[in-house]
Amino acid sequence: MELREFNNQVHPSPDYPSPYSSQHSLRLRTGPTQDTSAVQFDWSSPPEDAEDSNEPQNLRELPLHMSLKRAVWQVQKMKVPVVSSSWNIKRSKTFHRFCEVAKYILSYFVLWNRGIQRIGGHFGGGVRSYFLFLRFLVILNFLSSLLIAAFVLIPSIVFRSMKFNSTIALTVNLNGTESCLHYDPKPDALMVFYTYFLDLVSGTGFMEYSYLFYGYYNNSKIESNGFSYNIPLAYLLTAAFYFLFCLICMIIRMGGTARLVVVTGGGAVGGYSMLVFTGWDHGLQGDRTTKLKQNNLRHRLQVDLEEERLKKKAASLTLGQTVSLYALRVFLNLVVLILIGAAFYGIAEATQFSQSRKTTGFVGLLLQYLPSMVITASNFVVPLLCDKIALLEKYSPSTTVILALLRAVFLRLVSLGVLLYTLWEQITCKGEINSGNCEPCSYYYDQYKCWETRVGQEMYKLTLFDFLITITTLILVEFPRRIVVDHCSCKLTQWVGRQEFLVAPNVLALVYSQTVVWTGALFCPLLPFINTIKFIFFFYCKKITLFQNCQPATRNFRSTTSNFFFLLVLLFGWMLSSVVLLYSVSKIHPSYGCGPFRIYPAMWEVVPEAVKMLSSSSKEFLFYIGSQKCSIPLFIFSCVLLCYVNVLTSVHGKSVALLRSQCKLEQRDKQFLVRQIEELNATMQNLHREPQQPLRETEPFYHTSPQWNQYNNYAFDPNEDPNPY
């Protein structure tokens, strides 16, 4: 009957166990004759599917008490024919057992798993996402350094130690460029200790002519006994593959987080119910952590509610107020841009100044580190000022956070870009390679005898300085702050309070370091390895400072959307460094005196030459792939694929919306029917009290009245045979 089927669709019969009643369950808000005061929802009848299906159901997933689960199990055991499928069941059981054991063992091998879980338990999802991001970068750098070591470093070491003779004939036409060939970075034999330390820290002297930098690698092409290895080609292709590898890793990770973002609707929808239903972490132990978490949740709720009230108020501003607010915002944005521009100018000047001076000793070291210092100072001061300005702009709290992040990202990445641009200007005499200082060698030979090594040195210095500053801040700022706050109880220290672990600036620092490493990897092949060690240090140092010095954040970070945002910023950094890579590979003339590309007019030229030496069929194949005959159809095909996936997404979205509206409709129908039944019941009761009513009209009801009385709500009892109507 329609009612029963309708009911089964809308309300699968309540299938939750309860020790309180053994009768068939009834839904609340049912019969009007039922005593509504003593309502206890009955979760007791076993699920419908258990009796129908023949497959052994997964018992653990039944939300029943143990005794009921055992009963279901007994029933299942009796049903399942012993002979035929017992082997299958046993096999699947052992397979499941094996999977559990394997998962348990593998969880030990995941790097820092327990540490990160502990961090998440104490400090929440936002801080945990920072450490997950750090772990991802450590693994990425480690794998990249393995790659570079395998294809570039180890062959170079082997060939150099075996003193293979280079078989590249110097057939290049040196038109007046003989002067460019001189490059002699070998240090003096006698060295004072402090010079040794200075060289270590600035990458000059003994460090310069070592495997660390580009200049040490030879352009050897080894061919012996049928084994050939072309170092220049290996160097270039390894660098290119390293970039591709990083891109693929990032995209895979972004894909995972993007799926979460799409599924959770960006985290903004359903914010309140999500927070209230899933906000509590049952793993927390101890009164102190519980109180902290409760404070945290209360604060979040209050902030969100206030933000909503502010939005409503903002929507109700008068025209005059809106105009003045927007004018203020435009003005403040201009101020921010001016500040950032000033920072860029400072960086450019510092770079030029430091590149053109050559003093030795401690002053020389300071001068060499001047660009790094200016960048770090501006990255610290400008966001601070921007935060103060943001207070005046009166955005809602979440918009303020996003805006601050965007400004900080812009500042960091573009300041690196300014540094690189200034270097380029110096090296290539502002792009005019045939004028002035760049005359014979197409680069500024007098200052840059081996310009790639110099660029590598700058990146090396940036990396080291970043590491130094972090460790120094830790020791000189965070620990003393905690000691002062804990032991001195004056008002000022209590107002300043303990350090809070701010996730966003820390993540941006990681992104900045990684971008520096990517930019410098072509010129300083060991930089990924140095970075791996640096990030491992970071992990332990940050963990120590987190547990010793920091308090749990009062304002939580939305982890899923912010994970996606961090990876996006990392991707921007990657794009910046790939621009540098492409430009230096194709446009700037490699140094004549050093490095594996010394005889080529551009680093890229290695590849066409190598392709020429391939067999003709491979050559034809490669030319075909690169030609328009192949690339245009490929492009069209990928466009078609993109359109298809897009259409699929929109169809799914539409079906979700359709199902939601169907839910609403069904509930309205249910309410309508309930009202109908109530009315019928009421009429029936009236008829009982007034027996003078003509019998004919009441006959059909009279027959059914015992049934109405016996089953409180007939319409919702699925086991009764349909009869009355």
Partner 1 sequence: MGGTSSKLSKDLLSEYQELTFLTKQEILMAHKIFSELQDKENGPYGARVSMEKVLTLPELKSNPFRKRICQVFSTSDLKDGSLSFEDFLDLLSAFSDSATLEIKSHYAFRIFDFDDDGTLDARDLEKLVNSLTGETDDTRLTGEEMKQLIGNILEESDIDKDGTVNLSEFQHVISRSPDFVSSFKIVL
List interacting residues with partner 1 (CB under 8 A).
Answer: 14, 16, 19-20, 27-28, 39-41, 43, 59-61, 63, 65-67, 69-70, 73, 100, 104, 120, 125, 260, 263-265, 269-274, 276-287, 289-291, 294-295, 297-298, 301-302, 305, 308-309, 559-560, 660, 663-664, 666-668, 671
SS3 content of the chain, % helix, strand, coil (to 5): 70, 0, 25
For residue 662, give the DSSP letter: H
| Residue number with CB closer to partner 1 (296 or 705) | 296
* 293 and 284 Cβ atoms separated by less than 8 Å: yes
| Residue number with CB closer to partner 1 (396 or 493) | 396
* 401 and 504 Cβ atoms separated by less than 8 Å: yes
CB of 318 to partner 1, least distance (A): 24
CB of 224 to partner 1, least distance (A): 56
Dist. CA 520–CA 460, nearest whole Å: 7
| Residue number with CB closer to partner 1 (305 or 544) | 305
Contacts of 630 (CB under 8 A, 6+ apart): 624
Contacts of 127 (CB under 8 A, 6+ apart): 119, 120, 501, 503, 546, 553, 557
For residue 226, give the DSSP letter: T
CB of 77 to partner 1, least distance (A): 11
| Residue number with CB closer to partner 1 (264 or 578) | 264
Phi, psi angle pair for 224, to nearest 5°: -150, 140
CB of 294 to partner 1, least distance (A): 4
| Residue number with CB closer to partner 1 (288 or 487) | 288
| Residue number with CB closer to partner 1 (290 or 693) | 290
For residue 551, give the DSSP letter: E
**DSSP secondary structure, 687-701, as one string:** HHH-TTS-HHHHHHH
Structure tokens at 524: 């300083």
| Residue number with CB closer to partner 1 (38 or 391) | 38
| Residue number with CB closer to partner 1 (69 or 543) | 69
Dist. CA 231–CA 525, nearest whole Å: 13
CB of 523 to partner 1, least distance (A): 41
Q: Cα angle vertex 160, ends 158, 164, to 5°?
A: 95
Dist. CA 490–CA 203, nearest whole Å: 47
CB of 396 to partner 1, least distance (A): 16
Q: Quick one: how far is CA 377 from the chain centroid?
A: 27
266-296: b (≥16 Cβ within 10 Å) or e: ebeeeeeeeeeeeeeeeeeeeeeeeebbeeb
Phi, psi angle pair for 500, to nearest 5°: -110, 135
Reference 396, options 274, 297, 276, 304; nearest CA is: 304
CB of 264 to partner 1, least distance (A): 5
| Residue number with CB closer to partner 1 (145 or 559) | 559
Q: What is the dihedral of CA 142, 144, 149, 153, to 10 degrees?
A: -130
Dist. CA 73–CA 58, nearest whole Å: 10
CB of 67 to partner 1, least distance (A): 7
| Residue number with CB closer to partner 1 (285 or 434) | 285
Dist. CA 247–CA 567, nearest whole Å: 11
| Residue number with CB closer to partner 1 (202 or 556) | 556
Q: Cα angle vertex 63, ends 60, 64, to 5°?
A: 95
Dist. CA 405–CA 384, nearest whole Å: 12
CB of 402 to partner 1, least distance (A): 20
| Residue number with CB closer to partner 1 (59 or 337) | 59
CB of 258 to partner 1, least distance (A): 12
44-68: b (≥16 Cβ within 10 Å) or e: bbbbeeeeeeeebeeeeebebeeeb
CB of 308 to partner 1, least distance (A): 7
CB of 358 to partner 1, least distance (A): 55
Beta bridge partners of 499: 550
Reference 221, options 596, 619, 526; nearest CA is: 596
| Residue number with CB closer to partner 1 (299 or 482) | 299
Dist. CA 245–CA 238, nearest whole Å: 10
Structure tokens at 619: 């050559």
CB of 648 to partner 1, least distance (A): 20
CB of 455 to partner 1, least distance (A): 42
| Residue number with CB closer to partner 1 (491 or 664) | 664
Dist. CA 584–CA 519, nearest whole Å: 10
| Residue number with CB closer to partner 1 (284 or 403) | 284
CB of 418 to partner 1, least distance (A): 39
